[in-house]
Amino acid sequence: MRAMSRARIHRLLETAESGDRISRLVDLGLATFIVANVVALLIESTYPDDVPVPWGFDAFEVLSVIVFSAEYLLRLWSAPESPRYAGPGARLRWACSPLAIIDLLAIAPTLVGWFAPIPLDLRAVRALRLLRILRVARLGRYSIAMQAIADAVREKRNELVSAVFVVLVMLIVASTLMYHVEHATNQRSFPSIPAAMWWGIATLTTVGYGDVVPVTPIGKLLGAAIAILGIGVFALPAAILSSAFTERLQRLAGRARDPVIAPPTQCPHCGKPLPDQVALGHDRESPPTDRS
């Protein structure tokens, strides 16, 4: 009974399966609660530091920490039910996962303020409370689209690393060339190669803030060429990620369209009815022999 209740809690807290209304309501409730927390944090930031916020914000924060702490403890308790963490040390492996760390950091600032053994500087506590914005990252657990993006990043991580490496090489080369071209005439804007990298980032990303610009004709020509190259170079990671995301969505849509094939109830060779356990375990690749 205990194992069944733990398995049920695990299913309730994970992404709802098709037809599980209670799990769907739990997901919707937690997602709504997270959004409400983010909205409360944004509104709370509009009050000046010397003006106390209404008591409703503190009461809502207390309720939020209680709910999220209970959710964290339940997820920790039911972690062995997950196929990903099953086995010895399941709870420790789950606690070290990225989503679990985000869950803990989202409630840690308030818990530190409550249970700190010594009084803390209010400014430090206020700075820690800004970590509550991490709660918005927990929405990925309840969004199929965000999960598809995460899967796409995992599938194309090698290609993304290669694309980022190309971008870094391009950034270093562009900044070095511009430093040597502009340093003698425009030493204030290009005092060193690391300082020139700010111009390189703004140019390769085609943002062009305009705070650092070349002044020599050769520098302007080089800047124009680098800006044009930046359009293609910085499009590489986006193209890789978008293609992987599209493939992932197509696979999900294909699974939804595939009909569920019922297991056979009779032998295709002799026509005799099959027992339930045989029908459920019927192997299409190795049909039963003809007994007639």
Mean pLDDT of 101-123: 70
Q: Which amino acid is at 1?
A: M
| Contact of 230 with 178, CB cutoff 8 Å | no
Rg (CA), the chain: 28
Q: Cα(14)–Cα(33) distance, rounded to whole angstroms?
A: 16
Pick the CATH number of 143-260 from 1.10.760.10, 1.10.287.70, 3.90.550.10, 1.10.10.10: 1.10.287.70
- β partners of residue 273: 266
Q: What's the confidence (pLDDT) of residue 218?
A: 92
Query: What single-letter DSSP state applies at residue 81?
Result: G
Would residue 176 be called left, alpha or beta, if left means φ above 0 and alpha means ψ between -120 and 50 degrees? alpha
Helix (H) or strand (E) holding 11: helix 2-13
Q: What's the confidence (pLDDT) of residue 286?
A: 46
Q: Tell me the average pLDDT of the chain.
A: 75
More confident residue, 278 or 228: 228
pLDDT cut 90: percent of the chain above it: 4
Q: Residue 144 pLDDT > 80, yes or no? A: no
Phi, psi (5° rounding) for residue 188?
Answer: -65, -40
Using one digit for the tens of pLDDT, what is the confidence trace for 152-161? 777 888 888 8
Q: What's the confidence (pLDDT) of residue 1?
A: 45
More confident residue, 227 or 1: 227
More confident residue, 272 or 43: 43
Please enumerate, as own/partner, the contacts of 57-63 that have beta carbons within 8 Å and a separation of 24 or more. 60/36, 61/110
| Residue 188 banded pLDDT, cuts 50, 70, 90 | confident
Q: Residue 274 pLDDT > 80, yes or no? A: no
Mean pLDDT of 98-119: 75
Q: What's the confidence (pLDDT) of residue 110?
A: 77
Q: What's the confidence (pLDDT) of residue 16?
A: 60
Cut 0.75: pTM above it: no
Using one digit for the tens of pLDDT, what is the confidence trace for 11-33? 887 766 666 788 788 878 888 88
Using one digit for the tens of pLDDT, what is the confidence trace for 229-269? 888 877 777 788 787 877 777 776 665 455 444 455 556 55
* CATH 1.20.120.350 residue spans of the chain: 2-142
Q: What's the confidence (pLDDT) of residue 283?
A: 45
- β partners of residue 266: 273
Q: Residue 285 pLDDT > 80, yes or no? A: no
* Range 2-142 has CATH code 3.30.1280.10: no
| Contact of 226 with 197, CB cutoff 8 Å | no
Q: What's the confidence (pLDDT) of residue 236?
A: 79
Q: What's the confidence (pLDDT) of residue 252?
A: 64
| Contact of 53 with 44, CB cutoff 8 Å | yes
Q: Cα(224)–Cα(289) distance, rounded to whole angstroms?
A: 74
Q: Cα(85)–Cα(97) distance, rounded to whole angstroms?
A: 10
* CATH 1.10.287.70 residue spans of the chain: 143-260
Using one digit for the tens of pLDDT, what is the confidence trace for 84-107? 887 788 889 888 887 788 788 778
Cα-based distances in Å from 98 to 34, 64, 112: 17, 21, 21
Q: Residue 221 pLDDT > 90, yes or no? A: yes
- β partners of residue 235: none
| Residue 272 banded pLDDT, cuts 50, 70, 90 | low
Q: Residue 291 pLDDT > 50, yes or no? A: no
Q: Please identify which residue in the block is written with the tokens 């270093």.
A: 172
Q: Cα(230)–Cα(233) distance, rounded to whole angstroms?
A: 5
Per-residue tokens: 61: 């924060």
